Amino acid sequence: MEETIVAIDVGTTKVCTLVAEPSDEAELRIVGIGTSTSRGLRKGVVLDVEQATAAITESVEKAEQISGYAIDSAFVGISGSHISGINSRGIAAISRGERLIVQDDINRAMDAARAIAIPPTREMLHDIPRGYIVDEQDGVRNPTGLRGFRLEVEAHIVTGASASIHNLAECVQNTGVRVEHLIVQAIAAGEAVLAGPEKDLGVAVVDIGGGTTDMAVFIDGSVWHTVVLPVGGNHLTHDLAVGLRTPFTVAESLKTKYGHATPDSFEPDAVIDATSFGDDSHRSMSRAQLSEIIKVRMEEILELILREIKRSGYDGLLPAGIVLCGGTAELAGIKQLARDTLELPVRIGTPRGLEGLVESVRDPAHACSVGLLLWALRYAPDVSRNGPRGGQGVLRRLKHLLSVFSPG
């Protein structure tokens, strides 16, 4: 039985399940993908368990059909404005005779860093060491084997609302899939789109999805700051629907095909025939007008991003700039608008280090789902094993679904 890793990215607009195998030529080989329209979520948070479970089930079954594997367990992305990060410090004394730092000392320092007051309504999602200090020597990345009297660790602790965490986990588990780990989406996206030198130099990954904008700041190779803003691409679509007095689905189609973040790119007489998108009003509209509506809202989102970077205190520590990903990062002209608004270097991030069905995931919208796979490969002690399709995994999920949805 081959070893596989499965990722499930449960977003506001889509659910994406990826199945991957270890590869000799690249880090991973994508062997299965299943995408479904997300239901029962708003701004990254589950509001309807039954609808969300159905959407996840559809995505998982598609990935099983393509990959030939039965999916029993997965690494799952989590988002929502309830997620927040805090930096903490832990200290451990090195008391053995040789004063040689071993893994037990690192564990004790991390335990001290985790000992922060967390409200009973919140739970810890990540505890990530940012760096170590041995006696008075800072900038240590791996203290194992060094000699000293005192070890300090600077850690980034990410927490989320317990109810939101358990609601998402329940939706996945209702499909018969065990949750191996919940990973904050911005941290996962960073694994897929950032290069090592960028993380060392100082960079922020900004994943602009449908309902949220997930941010993570990386400095000295580690995560220093995380936040989720409750705005995303759906806000652009809503503004178009209101401003153009057209249905939401039509507005989404217009945004995807003709949307642009810089209306100055078009001549005033450049028009769009909205009737071809299902608008029964049989009218045309200016492409510059469409883009002007998008630009105003996009500038607001970018201003929120800039405000958060400044609030974090790391605005002067990002020489590598901003890496945009998520579905909204595919909006034409967004890179230039972001450069002008943020006054930082900006590039669009796409997943790297893959082979197999890469054409299906080689875009900014799949940064998080690919990143979940890479996070599991790099940091999880044991990857999940999923057997051939039609095995015990499918039977177990069927029994589980019957027990969940049958009355009494």
Please report, for the chain, the start and end positions of each structural domain, with discontinuous segments joined by +. Answer: 84-161, 233-292
What pLDDT is stored for residue 26 in this prediction? 77
**CB atoms < 10 A from the CB of 126, how many?**
20
pLDDT digits (tens, 9 = 90+) for 328-377: 999 999 999 999 999 999 999 999 888 888 888 999 999 999 999 999 99
Q: Which long-range contacts (CB under 8 A, 24 or more apart) does 309-315 make?
A: 309/204, 309/215, 309/217, 309/342, 312/217, 312/224, 312/225, 312/227, 314/202, 314/204, 314/217, 314/219, 314/224, 314/225
Q: What is the band of 52 on the pLDDT scale with cuts at 50, 70, 90?
A: very high
The CATH number of the structural domain formed by 84-161 is 3.30.1490.110
Q: What is the band of 99 on the pLDDT scale with cuts at 50, 70, 90?
A: confident
Judged against a pLDDT cut of 90, whether residue 39 lies above it is answered with yes
What pLDDT is stored for residue 265 in this prediction? 75
Q: Which of 207, 302, 286 is nearest to 240 (CA)?
A: 286
What pLDDT is stored for residue 203 in this prediction? 97
Q: What is the band of 2 on the pLDDT scale with cuts at 50, 70, 90?
A: low
pLDDT digits (tens, 9 = 90+) for 132-189: 999 989 989 999 999 999 999 999 999 999 999 999 999 999 999 999 999 999 999 9
What pLDDT is stored for residue 392 in this prediction? 41
Judged against a pLDDT cut of 50, whether residue 107 lies above it is answered with yes
**How far apart are alpha carbons 34 and 380 in whole angstroms?**
23
Judged against a pLDDT cut of 80, whether residue 51 lies above it is answered with yes
Judged against a pLDDT cut of 60, whether residue 226 lies above it is answered with yes
**CB atoms < 10 A from the CB of 13, how many?**
17
Task: Average the pLDDT over 56-67 and give the result.
Answer: 96
Task: Average the pLDDT over 275-286 and give the result.
Answer: 66
Structure tokens given for 133: 């200090």
**How far apart are alpha carbons 181 and 384 in whole angstroms?**
11
What average pLDDT does the chain have? 89
pLDDT digits (tens, 9 = 90+) for 285-328: 788 888 999 999 999 999 999 999 999 999 889 999 999 999 99
State the sign of the Cα–Cα–Cα–Cα dihedral 170, 174, 180, 184: negative
Judged against a pLDDT cut of 70, whether residue 89 lies above it is answered with yes
**CB atoms < 10 A from the CB of 33, how many?**
21
Mean pLDDT lowest among 122-126, 240-244, 278-282: 278-282
Q: Which of 361, 54, 9, 349 is nearest to 212 (CA)?
A: 9
Share of the chain above pLDDT 70, in %: 89
| Domain 233-292, CATH number (from 3.30.2010.30, 2.40.30.40, 3.30.420.40, 3.40.50.300) | 3.30.420.40
Question: What's 330's DSSP letter?
Answer: G
Q: What's the distance, CA 84 to chain centroid?
A: 14
**How far apart are alpha carbons 71 and 175 in whole angstroms?**
10
What pLDDT is stored for residue 396 in this prediction? 42
Judged against a pLDDT cut of 50, whether residue 404 lies above it is answered with no
Give the global pTM: 0.89
DSSP SS3 for 391: coil
What pLDDT is stored for residue 388 in this prediction? 53
Judged against a pLDDT cut of 80, whether residue 279 lies above it is answered with no
Mean pLDDT lowest among 100-114, 229-243, 394-408: 394-408
Q: What is the band of 276 on the pLDDT scale with cuts at 50, 70, 90?
A: low
Overall residue count recorded for the chain in this entry: 408
Task: Average the pLDDT over 16-20 and give the result.
Answer: 96
Judged against a pLDDT cut of 80, whether residue 223 lies above it is answered with yes
What pLDDT is stored for residue 394 in this prediction? 46
